[in-house]
């Protein structure tokens, strides 16, 4: 090595073996074999600090939020609001513009019912992309049914990236709303949402970004993206299930009517009428998943302690390794090869059904997903009934990639 190069400071990165040891479930055996968990796009595993934060909340601080003056109530409220602040910092948005909810599905439905339903009408168009998850299709279909608006679909290039020229051409004057995934859960495509949302904004189109698969794998700056709404789900980012959030521009939050009515979202109620709470609380009726959000706050701390740039780099290495090995398997086809894609690999092996492959892999301790991945329109356009999907996370290892490939070769010999 050149001596000048040798003197460059070395950034060691995290000790990935120690990081992996933070996840208790990863020591499990399945069918007598060490678990190789490759289904993190479905739900991520949880580090001990998240599990302990939930446990500690129930053991020491459990009370309802925003309703009491007693000490436990104050502690619970502080913990819940503290989680909101942590998540807001993680996403680079203001905490008072972040609605906490059960996940992306609820978040997108909130936009559909509170923003779109009262505004859209016959003649308006909702633009979505071919790669959307059902959570970013079905709510818009319900809105279209009620309002007479129609849905237009932006198509993909053969490598699974969005056809940007086609998308911009589709942004005609009748389009009032654009609903788009930041990262595809099937193809791994990372959409250039910053550029796309700016184009939408120039044309007066309100943009909704589904960040379910982005928040766990990329450093996010929602303010820089410049969208109108951004949805995240906690259980894919090392947090508990039933947690998530919707970020909305302040002017939308103020103008939108509440979606669900009940306690906590009000200032004053009489039988003559109700004065609603302000900011995100207007949309948080009823007792929330307090312990879950405490866990999500711990998950955000955990991800930040590793560093999202490190997470992205590690997952990129694992993706490159897995892709290189998969490409050596005869008859194997990968769906989605967009440049800069996230660590999600959908594939099929000629002559083998996706569910059969996934079942045989399970016998080897390897957990992948098979099926339509809540993206029927995308799979229809790919011309397949189902795919296998291996999704990697920073806590996976190169040895696991090798184990997955060996198990796949064994299954292929049996099936294909």
Ligand X SMILES: Cc1ncc(COP(=O)(O)O)c(C=O)c1O
Query: Catalytic residue numbers?
Result: 374
Of 406, 101, 41, 387, whose CA–CA distance to 248 is shortest? 101
The answer to the question of residue 129 lying near ligand X (CB under 6 A) is: no
| CB of 351 closer than 8 Å to CB of 410 | no
What is the helix (H) or strand (E) element at residue 321, kind and residue range? helix 308-326
The answer to the question of residue 185 lying near ligand X (CB under 6 A) is: yes
| CB of 130 closer than 8 Å to CB of 382 | no
- In angstroms, the CA 277 to CA 143 distance is 25
Q: CB under 6 A: which stretch of 24-32, 101-109, 316-324, 393-401 binds ligand X?
A: 101-109
The answer to the question of residue 310 lying near ligand X (CB under 6 A) is: no
The answer to the question of residue 109 lying near ligand X (CB under 6 A) is: no
What are the CA-CA distances from residue 198 to residues 58, 201, 204, 226, 232 (Å)?
44, 5, 10, 7, 20
**Least distance between ligand X and beta carbon 212 (Å):** 4
The answer to the question of residue 39 lying near ligand X (CB under 6 A) is: no
The answer to the question of residue 344 lying near ligand X (CB under 6 A) is: no
Among 147, 189, 207, 212, binds ligand X (CB under 6 A): 212
Residue closer to ligand X by CB (options 239, 403) is 239
Q: CB under 6 A: which stretch of 132-140, 323-331, 364-372, 395-403 binds ligand X?
A: 132-140
- Residues in 355-374 that interact with ligand X by CB under 6 A: 374
Helix H segments across 92-159?
A: 104-110, 117-119, 138-147
Of 318, 375, 384, whose CA–CA distance to 348 is shortest? 384
**Least distance between ligand X and beta carbon 110 (Å):** 12
Site size toward ligand X (CB under 6 A) is 14
CA angle 12, 18, 22 (to 5 degrees): 135
Torsion of CA 109, 233, 396, 320, to 10 degrees: 60
Residue closer to ligand X by CB (options 233, 346) is 233
Q: CB under 6 A: which stretch of 196-204, 209-217, 259-267, 347-355 binds ligand X?
A: 209-217
The answer to the question of residue 379 lying near ligand X (CB under 6 A) is: no
**Least distance between ligand X and beta carbon 289 (Å):** 12
**Least distance between ligand X and beta carbon 384 (Å):** 18
Both tokens of 66, joined, read 């925003």
Chain residues binding ligand X by CB under 6 A are 103-105, 133, 135-136, 181, 185, 210, 212-213, 233, 235, 374
């Amino acid at each position: 090595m050149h001596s000048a190069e040798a003197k460059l400071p070395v950034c060691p990165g995290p000790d990935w073996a120690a990081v992996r040891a933070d996840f208790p479930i990863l020591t499990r055996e399945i069918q007598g074999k060490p678990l190789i968990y490759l289904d993190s796009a479905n739900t991520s595993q949880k580090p001990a600090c998240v599990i302990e934060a939930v446990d500690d909340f129930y053991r020491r601080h459990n009370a309802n939020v925003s309703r009491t003056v007693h000490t436990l109530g104050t502690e619970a409220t502080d913990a819940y609001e503290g989680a909101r602040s942590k998540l807001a910092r993680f996403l680079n948005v203001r905490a008072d513009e972040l609605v906490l909810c059960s996940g992306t599905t609820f978040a997108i439905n909130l936009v559909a019912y509170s923003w779109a339903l009262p505004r859209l009408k016959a003649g308006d168009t909702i633009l979505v992309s071919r790669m959307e998850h059902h959570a970013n299709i079905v709510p818009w279909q319900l809105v279209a049914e009620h309002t007479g608006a129609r849905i237009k679909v932006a198509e993909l290039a053969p490598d699974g990236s969005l056809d940007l020229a086609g998308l911009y051409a589709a942004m005609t004057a009748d389009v009032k709303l654009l609903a788009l995934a930041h990262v595809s859960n099937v193809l791994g495509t990372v959409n250039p949402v910053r550029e796309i949302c700016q184009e939408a904004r120039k044309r007066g189109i309100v943009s909704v970004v589904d960040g379910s698969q982005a928040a766990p794998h990329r450093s996010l700056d929602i303010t820089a993206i410049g969208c109108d709404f951004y949805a995240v789900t906690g259980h894919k980012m090392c947090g508990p299930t039933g947690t998530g959030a919707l970020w909305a521009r302040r002017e939308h939050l103020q103008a939108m009517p509440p979606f669900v009515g009940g306690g906590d979202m009000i200032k004053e109620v009489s039988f003559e009428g109700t004065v609603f709470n302000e900011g995100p609380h207007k949309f948080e009726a009823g007792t929330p998943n307090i312990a879950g959000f405490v866990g999500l706050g711990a998950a955000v701390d955990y991800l930040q302690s590793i560093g999202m740039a490190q997470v992205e780099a590690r997952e990129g290495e694992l993706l490159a390794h897995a892709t290189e090995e998969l490409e050596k398997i005869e008859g194997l086809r990968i769906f989605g090869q967009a440049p800069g894609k996230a660590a999600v690999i959908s594939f099929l092996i000629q002559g083998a059904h996706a569910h059969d492959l996934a079942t045989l892999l399970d016998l080897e301790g390897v957990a992948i997903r098979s099926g339509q991945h809540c993206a029927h329109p995308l799979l229809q356009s790919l011309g397949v009934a189902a795919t296998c999907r291996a999704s990697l996370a920073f806590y996976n290892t190169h040895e696991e990639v090798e184990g997955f490939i060996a198990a796949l070769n064994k299954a292929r010999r049996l099936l294909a």
